[in-house]
Amino acid sequence: AQRVTQPEKLLSVFKGAPVELKCNYSYSGSPELFWYVQYSRQRLQLLLRHISRESIKGFTADLNKGETSFHLKKPFAQEEDSAMCYCALKGNTDKLIFGTGTRLQVFP
Amino acid sequence: EPEVTQTPSHQVTQMGQEVILRCVPISNHLYFYWYRQILGQKVEFLVSFYNNEISEKSEIFDDQFSVERPDGSNFTLKIRSTKLEDSAMYFCASGRDRQGNVPLHFGNGTRLTVT
C-alpha cells in the first residue's frame, strides 16, 4: 500500500534554529517524493521535489531509500518559513498521496 | 504569474442537493485534478483528467461524482446528491505535464459545507 507518514503534527522552533520535518513513506516501487507547503492564507504550492535535488528557500530534502524517508531540513529557520508542510508521494500513476501534514511554527 | 482559480470560495448546501464546484486551470495546462481535504484530515486524491477523459479516480469518487471540461477552460466537479460526509475543502489542480516533471498548481480551494 502507498502511504506517507508525518509523525509530527506541530514543530515549533525559534528563529535561527535548525528544523527537520520528518516524512516516511511506504511504496514497493521507485517513488517520486515532494514537499508541498501552504503559507497562511495562501494556496498549496510545491516547495521541493526529490528528482531536482535542489535547495529552495534554504530547505533541502534527501530521499533515503534504505530508511524510506524524505525528511525536510533547514539549518536556520526564518519566521517566514512558518507554514503547513505536506510530504507527498507519487507512484506509477498521476495521483499524489499526501501525509497528514506538519505545522511548522517559527517564533521570533 | 498565472494561477488556478476556483469558485465559489465557500458553498453551503443541504444534504441531497447537487453542487457544482468550478475551476479555471492555467491556460496551457493539460492535466487536471481534484483533491479534497476533510477538516483535520489529509489531502486526498479524487480524480485526474486528461485529454477530455478521466485518467484515474479514487474509491471516494463514486457514482455521485462527475467531472467535466465543458468549454475548454472550465473544469468542474459535480456532486449529484450531497451527503454530510462530503463536507470538505475541495482543491482543483492543474499541470503542464504529468506530475514529477513539472510542479502541480493548486487553486485556493472551495469549502463545501453540507447541512
In angstroms, the CA A61 to CA A52 distance is 10
In terms of pLDDT, which residue wins out, B63 or B1?
A: B63
Of B25, B27, B23, which is closest to residue B8 (Cα–Cα)? B23
What pLDDT shows up at residue B103?
A: 77
What pLDDT shows up at residue B102?
A: 67
Contacts across the A-B interface (CB distance below 8 Å): 52
In angstroms, the CA B11 to CA B95 distance is 25
| pLDDT, tens only, B10-50 | 999 999 999 999 999 999 898 999 999 999 899 999 999 99
pLDDT exceeds 90 at position B112: yes
Q: pLDDT category, A99, cuts 50, 70, 90? A: very high
In angstroms, the CA B58 to CA A28 distance is 19
Cβ count within 10 A of residue A9: 10
Q: Do A98 and B99 touch (CB under 8 A)?
A: no
Residue with cell string 513513506:
A25
With a CB cutoff of 8 Å and minimum separation 6, the contacts of B109 are: A43, B6, B9, B37, B89, B90, B91
The whole-angstrom distance between residue A72's C-alpha and the CA centroid of its chain comes to: 5
What pLDDT shows up at residue B78?
A: 97
Cell matching residue A29:
516501487
Phi-psi domain of B86 (left: phi exceeds 0; alpha: psi -120 through 50; beta: other): alpha
Q: Is A11 at the interface with chain B, CB within 8 A?
A: no
Mean of per-residue pLDDT scores for chain A: 93
Q: Is A31 at the interface with chain B, CB within 8 A?
A: no
Residue B103 is classified by DSSP as: P
What pLDDT shows up at residue B70?
A: 84
Mean pLDDT, rounded, for A59-64:
93
What pLDDT shows up at residue B73?
A: 85
Secondary structure percentages of chain A, helix, strand, coil, to 5: 5, 50, 50
What pLDDT shows up at residue B85?
A: 96
Q: pLDDT category, A51, cuts 50, 70, 90? A: confident
What pLDDT shows up at residue B104?
A: 86
CA A51 vs CA A19, A89, A91, B4: distances in Å: 22, 12, 13, 24
| Option in A32, A46, A98 nearest B43 (CB) | A98
In angstroms, the CA A58 to CA A61 distance is 10
The HSE-up count of residue B75 (CA atoms within 13 Å, CB side) is 29
Q: Do A101 and B42 touch (CB under 8 A)?
A: yes
